[in-house]
């Protein structure tokens, strides 16, 4: 077997800007696995996650000329994938479904040894059980690091709704984790 050629991000970007399929494939291979994990966290199943990933990378290749090489390429791709997931959720669900229980949520503590028993597939399956809106808020806040203000703007909801959905999503996740084990 021949040695694998390793390309820098700059070389991959230039090849993609030149619309060279080889470089598009190499860029995809380099980042697809990480981005698929993001897609899984928003999607309701693997098929939906694959659709989001494919659509997201199509956008990456179409928008590669707009990448200004400020910040990491991975971060830029991640934003496109996240926004694609949000667009996809808006189109498919028409309206985000939130947890509508108005009662005050009491969070239970979970022993970290319980979390060690769950693999990443188990975690994704648990997160996918959340209603679409609550799952989206949870991912944007806990995984992507957006503020509640930014989430409110992106999802066209109030900041208070974002905060309450995150709190309720965490409480529901803790219950789902207990039930999973």
pLDDT digits 0-9 by tens, 68-78:
888 899 999 99
Is 120's pLDDT higher than 90? Answer: no
Say how far apart CA 15 and CA 26 lie, in whole Å: 10
Q: Sorting pLDDT into bands at 50, 70 and 90, what band is 103?
A: very low
Helix or strand or coil: residue 102? coil
Is 3's pLDDT higher than 50? Answer: no
Which candidate, 10, 145, 166, places its Cα nearest to that of 158?
Answer: 166
- Rounded to an integer, the average pLDDT of 140-163 is 91
The phi and psi torsions of 108 (rounded to 5 degrees) equal -100, 150
- What's residue 1's pLDDT? 41
Cα dist. 16→21, 50, 78, 102, 159 in Å?
Answer: 7, 21, 17, 49, 38
Architecture of domain 112-180: Orthogonal Bundle (1.10)
Express each pLDDT in 41-52 by its tens digit: 888 888 999 999
Contacts of 72 (CB under 8 A, 6+ apart): none
Q: In this structure, what DSSP letter does residue 100 have?
A: -
- What's residue 51's pLDDT? 95
Q: Are 124 and 113 in contact (CB under 8 A)?
A: no
Is 112's pLDDT higher than 80? Answer: no
Structure token pair of residue 36: 């698929």
Q: Sorting pLDDT into bands at 50, 70 and 90, what band is 8?
A: very high
Structure token pair of residue 75: 């971060």
Query: Averaging pLDDT over each range in 72-86, 87-101, 103-117, which range is the top one?
Result: 72-86
pTM over the 0.75 mark: no
Is 7's pLDDT higher than 70? Answer: yes
- Rounded to an integer, the average pLDDT of 80-95 is 82
Cβ atoms within 10 Å, residue 69: 10
Is 97's pLDDT higher than 80? Answer: no
SS (H, E, C) 28-78: HHHHHHHHHHHHHHHCCCHHHHHHHHHHHHHHHHHHHHHCCCCCCHHHHHH
Contacts of 22 (CB under 8 A, 6+ apart): 15
- What's residue 49's pLDDT? 93
**Under CATH, which number does the domain 9-93 receive?**
1.10.1740.10
Ordered by start, the domain boundaries in the chain are 9-93, 112-180
């Amino acid at each position: 077997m021949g040695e694998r050629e390793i390309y820098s991000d700059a070389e991959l970007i230039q090849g993609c800007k030149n619309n060279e399929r080889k470089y598009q494939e190499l860029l995809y291979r380099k980042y697809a696995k990480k981005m698929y994990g993001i897609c899984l966290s928003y999607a309701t199943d693997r098929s939906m996650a694959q659709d989001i990933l494919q659509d997201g990378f199509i956008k990456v290749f179409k928008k590669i000329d707009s990448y200004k090489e400020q910040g990491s390429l991975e971060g830029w791709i991640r934003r496109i994938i996240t926004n694609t997931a949000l667009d996809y959720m808006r189109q498919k669900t028409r309206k985000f479904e939130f947890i509508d229980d108005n009662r005050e949520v009491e969070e239970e503590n979970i022993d970290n040894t319980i979390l060690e028993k769950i693999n990443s597939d188990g975690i994704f399956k648990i997160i996918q059980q959340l209603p679409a809106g609550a799952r989206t808020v949870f991912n944007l806040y806990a995984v992507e690091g957006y503020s509640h203000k930014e989430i409110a703007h992106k999802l066209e909801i109030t900041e208070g709704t974002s905060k309450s959905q995150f709190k309720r999503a965490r409480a529901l996740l803790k219950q789902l984790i207990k039930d999973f084990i």
